[in-house]
Amino acid sequence: MHLDRSGLEILDVRECRALLARAVVGRVVFTEHALPAVQPVNFIVHADDVVIRTARASRLATAARQTVVAFEIDEFDATARTGWSVVIIGHARLVTASEEIAALEDLPLRSWMPGHRDQYIRIRPELVSGRRIPVDA
Amino acid sequence: MHLDRSGLEILDVRECRALLARAVVGRVVFTEHALPAVQPVNFIVHADDVVIRTARASRLATAARQTVVAFEIDEFDATARTGWSVVIIGHARLVTASEEIAALEDLPLRSWMPGHRDQYIRIRPELVSGRRIPVDA
């Protein structure tokens, strides 16, 4: 077990990717009007990218125009006071090529949000990091 | 029930504050080396502020030097495909006055992180917003 300087267990990239593949909700972190912004979304991992469905005129669609975002997932147990989190940082992009959209439409990804959500965003994990609170912390 | 333009229920400030008072884990969203950054923390609400304990040399302590951050809590149900989130935006500050530190030490707030965490950060909610996915979405 490798610990960082604050005593948290460092999760390796393989473990981070396995946690990402199992999670269904994460949080997109971006900047909006020069302020930090965050929005939870349901997602799926496809070809190593985080894939999200949103509406064409949504804040996410606006925020994801070729920008660098963070994406976070976590799980905590308040009784045991433990848990883990994984953060990826990478470029987000709107999917515009029709063949690529057709391929994504085959995925089992339906937005939990109401209304028509036919805009796909992909986030490419360029930095991947994860931490776990050791159970005996 | 008030809906926003994407069909999500808008939670009023009173409801957002009630959800904040009950939650134990949230995510601080900030900027680090010009990139979006996010870190989950356990917290408590005191005098309307979100209060966090961290270590003196932590990234959070560095990030919270008189800057504007976002702080997010949420809860989702993957089976029902519903859930809610609350986001506050406001100035974060390191608590340095000894009387104020003494008052915060009386709170039932112990960091889940390992090691010595004697640095308090307060986030003042200047903007408070919340959304819920309607159950029949």
CB contact under 8 A, A133 and B115: no
Identify the band that residue B34 occupies on the pLDDT scale cut at 50, 70 and 90: confident
Identify the band that residue A135 occupies on the pLDDT scale cut at 50, 70 and 90: confident
Q: Which of residues 21-40 of A touch B (CB under 8 A)?
A: 24-25, 27, 29-31, 35-40
Q: Is the pLDDT of residue B65 over 70?
A: yes
Of A27, A78, A114, the CB nearest to B27: A27
Question: Does the B9-128 domain belong in CATH 3.50.50.60?
Answer: no
Phi then psi for residue B42, to 5 deg, are -85, 155
Task: Report the percentage of chain B scoring pLDDT > 90.
Answer: 72
Q: What single string gives the DSSP state of each residue in A8-62?
A: PEEEPHHHHHHHHHH--EEEEEEEETTEEEEEEEE-EEETTEEEEEE-TTSHHHH
What pLDDT sits at residue B137?
Answer: 55
At A36, list the tokens: 């930090």
CB contact under 8 A, A6 and B72: no
Cα angle at B6 between B2 and B11, to 5 degrees? 35
Q: Does the beta carbon of A68 lie under 8 angstroms from any beta carbon of chain B?
A: yes
Chain B residues whose CB is inside 8 A of the A114 CB are 6-8, 133-134, 137
For the ranges A6-10, A22-26, A122-126, the lowest mean pLDDT is seen at A6-10
Q: What is the pLDDT of residues B90-132, one digit of tens each?
A: 999 999 999 999 999 999 998 888 877 889 999 999 999 999 9
What pLDDT sits at residue B85?
Answer: 98
Residue ranges per structural domain of chain A? 9-130
User: If you average pLDDT over every residue of chain A, what do you get?
Assistant: 92
Taking Cα atoms as reference points, which of B115, B119, B129 lies closest to residue B92? B119
Taking Cα atoms as reference points, which of B8, B5, B4 lies closest to residue B135? B8
Q: Is B56 exposed, middle or buried (0-12, 13-18, 19+ CB in 10 A)?
A: exposed
Which one of A1-5, A16-20, A101-105, B31-35 scores highest in mean pLDDT? Answer: A16-20
Give the mean model confidence (pLDDT) for residues A129-137.
86
Question: Does the A9-130 domain belong in CATH 2.60.40.10?
Answer: no
What pLDDT sits at residue B101?
Answer: 95
Chain A residues whose CB is inside 8 A of the B25 CB are 74, 76, 78, 83
Chain A residues whose CB is inside 8 A of the B9 CB are none
Q: What single string gives the DSSP state of each residue in B70-131?
A: EEEEEEEETTTTEEEEEEEEEEEEE---HHHHHHHHTSS---SSSS---EEEEE--SEEEEE
The size of the A-B interface in CB pairs under 8 A is 119
Q: Is the pLDDT of residue A137 over 70?
A: no
CB contact under 8 A, A38 and B114: no
Chain A residues whose CB is inside 8 A of the B76 CB are 24-25, 40, 42, 112
What pLDDT sits at residue B6?
Answer: 85
Q: Which residues of A54-68 are buried (b: 16+ CB within 10 A; e: fewer)?
A: bbeebebbebbeeeb
Identify the band that residue A11 occupies on the pLDDT scale cut at 50, 70 and 90: very high
Of B24, B38, B69, the CB nearest to A72: B38
Q: Does the beta carbon of A78 lie under 8 angstroms from any beta carbon of chain B?
A: yes
- Residues contacting residue A34 through CB under 8 Å, at least 6 positions apart: none
What pLDDT sits at residue B70?
Answer: 97
Query: From CA B1, how far away is CA A66, in angstroms rounded?
Result: 35
